[in-house]
Structure 1
Amino acid sequence: MNKKQETKGKVKMSNKEDYNDDNEYKFDNIEVDKDTHKKVKKKGGAGVKIYSVLITLLAGALAGTTFFYYRRSNNEKKEVDTYTRIEESGNNEVKSIVKDYMENGKGTMAMLRELFPENIVVYASNKYSFLPVADNVPKNDIDNKNINNLENGEIEYLKNDKVVSHKGIDVSKYQGEIDWEKVAADGVEFAMIRIGYRGYGSGALVLDETALNNLEGATKAGIKVGVYFFSQAISVKEAKEEAEFVMENIKKYKITYPVVFDTEDVLNEDARTEGLTSEELTQIAIAFCNEISNGGYIPAIYANLRWYALSLDMSQLGEYDKWYAYYDKEFYFPYKINIWQYTENGSVDGITGNVDMNISFKDYE
């Protein structure tokens, strides 16, 4: 999934190009979902704008005090004097917390996520959502203190000062012709290769035109490979059809890494999946993964934070490996993941232009 990839989620995609004739959705600078396979995290947010609301929320949460916030449709705001009320009630602790976060540049989202560890905090559609963390889904043990941000922009994960993660990339036809020997020499251990996609308009199954060459080149260079398929299935039947399509096209190759169901929103009202419920999307993902598992491969699901939290029912997906797109130097997600896609702007020898960079926390053999 890289800058220009088919169409992936609906999280925030910017600078979208246009639809090409095979009903792909390409964008140039995807922020959450890229190449239709990039899930990017929206940085920033309404920090300053909701400062007073935050104080209100913190005051209520920490001191049991309730305040009110009003907003008029014409953007005029009427706010109860929250600051004064906090002063009067003696909630200096609340003020201290807010001040500490703001002075240290941590921002609104970081504050909320630390204050509400029992929830997944997501900002979307101009509001914050607090989703309960499912008890039955395995949790991650990633410690941000062990994330090593290198000068070249790459990320490693350490344990006892030893690198335990594996360096990877994901590619599609938008990377063009790849010199896989140079890629291997640059330390890339695994590659997730787009095998194909379903057109979001026509519903046709399409093989990525570079998929087979990439599978051959990567494996010949000693790089472990997995594949991903950008889904636009609207039923369990179509999900199984996609899985069969994938397995038919990879049967000649040694697939060590997962076969991935790439699911995300398409910012187009004509998208086939527009309007599907969370339960429908979840059952479609499960159907694909089970079909892949029955075929002898390791199934996985690819999504970004918003898609996992808002569009899928995580309580039903605990048994499947997860490939997580989150573009930040620090990690945020309560559940166990196996692969982390941390940027769409990586650089690797043998590939012209930017490429998505990943690390794997799991040894796939």
Structure 2
Amino acid sequence: MNNTSQDSRERIGVRNTHNIISIIFLSLVALLALSFSIMLLIKNASLKREEEAVRMELEALNNEGYYTLTEADRLVEEAKKEAEIETTNSIKSKIQSKLEAGEGTTATIRSLFPEQMVVASSGKYYFFPILDSIAHHGFGDEDFVVGDDGFLKYVGNDTNVHVKKGIDVSRFQGKINWKKVADAGIDFAFIRVGLRGTKEGTLLVDDCFSDNIKGATENGIDVGVYFYSQALNEEEAKEELQIVLDNIEPYSIKYPVVIDIESADSDTARTNNMTSDDYENVVRVFCDMVRSAGYKPMVYGNVKSFTLLMDAKDVDDYGIWIAYYGTPLYYPYHFDVWQFSSTGTVDGIEGNVDLDICITEY
């Protein structure tokens, strides 16, 4: 019986111990749950404060004129469309005003592309970037004006620029009274030695060459000479130069010996299939031989010559005689002689004559 009582007391003690442990465990769980709940409440309150702060910041930004990314993209697209419309209207207005002022289509197009040379040929327009690798002449649009005598005069500020007045002549001017030409103040003359035919390629000496070079030199006018080339290759370039050298040998040639490179503008022209490389090779052969013979080489051409027929940078080693009628000169690169008119008048010459100015001392 005593053993039984003792067992009962032991069982009661064990149960009490288990109950205490359970109570302690449940208390710990409750405490952890309470702590976690408190942490969640604190975190939630913090998030609400951050959300409120962000909301207030966005409202402030909106009040200051800031936009969301979507709004910004929309505004950019609207601005681009407005700019395109404004640019288009500006270009249209510029074109309209120039055409109404009487400017031609080519001149109008050129004004819209100031960083390129625009060349019209055979119903097409060609665009050539203006290169910094070639020396520019540096003259402004207002630096040259036509004087009372019909010649261009320099009115710019560069005291180193000195302009001389000249003409270029061939058999088309007929018999010339060179004394009257000299008395008219002409400083120099380029005289055509000859030409090669545009179709058959026949070599010809100008009918008036001898009379012109004698008349000019005897009246104190400095002379240069030129040959209208239609050479296809190196051999023909040498043939043309030989005619020049044979004919100028007795005379004092102060100004350059010139190869005239122009498009024949004919469906049957023998040069129609020539490439820029072909033209440049002809020029190099001719001009290098001129230099070797002791004369000054020069290339004559218009804007088309120095863009479509040749690359200006590839003939930059020689003197340049540019043909462009009117002012300002539509040619950005350096030049030595400018043929500015084909309808000039000079005492001693019947009819029209080409007028030139020279800015290089020879």
- The TM-score, its normalising length taken from structure 1, stands at 0.71
Q: Which residue number corresponds to residue 297 of structure 2? A: 299
Q: Which residue number corresponds to residue 156 of structure 2? A: 159
CA contact (8 A) 1:339 1:362 kept: yes
Quote the offset at 1:328 in angstroms: 1.3
Larger RCO, structure (CA 8 Å, separation 6 or more): 1
Q: Which residue number corresponds to residue 218 of structure 2? A: 220
Q: Distance in 1 between matches of 2:289 and 2:260?
A: 15
Partner SS for 1:324: strand
Q: Distance in 1 between matches of 2:289 and 2:177?
A: 33
Q: Which residue number corresponds to residue 282 of structure 1? A: 280
Read off the aligned partner of 2:85 and give its amino acid letter: S
CA contact (8 A) 2:325 2:341 kept: yes
Read off the aligned partner of 2:326 and give its amino acid letter: D
Quote the offset at 1:161 in angstroms: 8.9
- CA offset digits 1:292-346 (Å, max 9, x no partner): 0111111111111112211112221111111111111321101111111111111
Q: Distance in 2 between matches of 1:269 and 1:114?
A: 31
Structure with bigger gyration radius: 2
Structure 1 residues 1-365: aligned runs within 5 Å:
89-91=85-87, 92-102=89-99, 104-106=101-103, 108-160=105-157, 164-364=162-362
Q: Distance in 1 between matches of 2:323 and 2:219?
A: 26
Quote the offset at 1:93 in angstroms: 4.1
Q: Distance in 1 between matches of 2:223 and 2:156?
A: 25
CA contact (8 A) 1:158 1:165 kept: no
Q: Distance in 2 between matches of 1:249 and 1:115?
A: 47
User: What is the aligned-residue identity percentage?
Assistant: 41
- The TM-score, its normalising length taken from structure 2, stands at 0.72
Quote the offset at 1:132 in angstroms: 2.0
Gap runs ≥5 in structure 2:
1-78
The 1:111/1:180 distance shift into structure 2, 3 A limit, reads same
Quote the offset at 1:107 in angstroms: 5.1
- CA offset digits 1:238-259 (Å, max 9, x no partner): 1122112211210111111111
Quote the offset at 1:154 in angstroms: 2.5
RMSD between aligned residues: 2.4
CA contact (8 A) 1:134 1:314 kept: no
The 1:139/1:192 distance shift into structure 2, 3 A limit, reads same
CA contact (8 A) 2:142 2:156 kept: no
The 1:99/1:250 distance shift into structure 2, 3 A limit, reads same
The 1:86/1:154 distance shift into structure 2, 3 A limit, reads farther
Quote the offset at 1:272 in angstroms: 2.1
Q: Distance in 2 between matches of 1:347 and 1:356?
A: 8
Q: Distance in 2 between matches of 1:179 and 1:107?
A: 38
- Size of the alignment, in residue pairs? 282
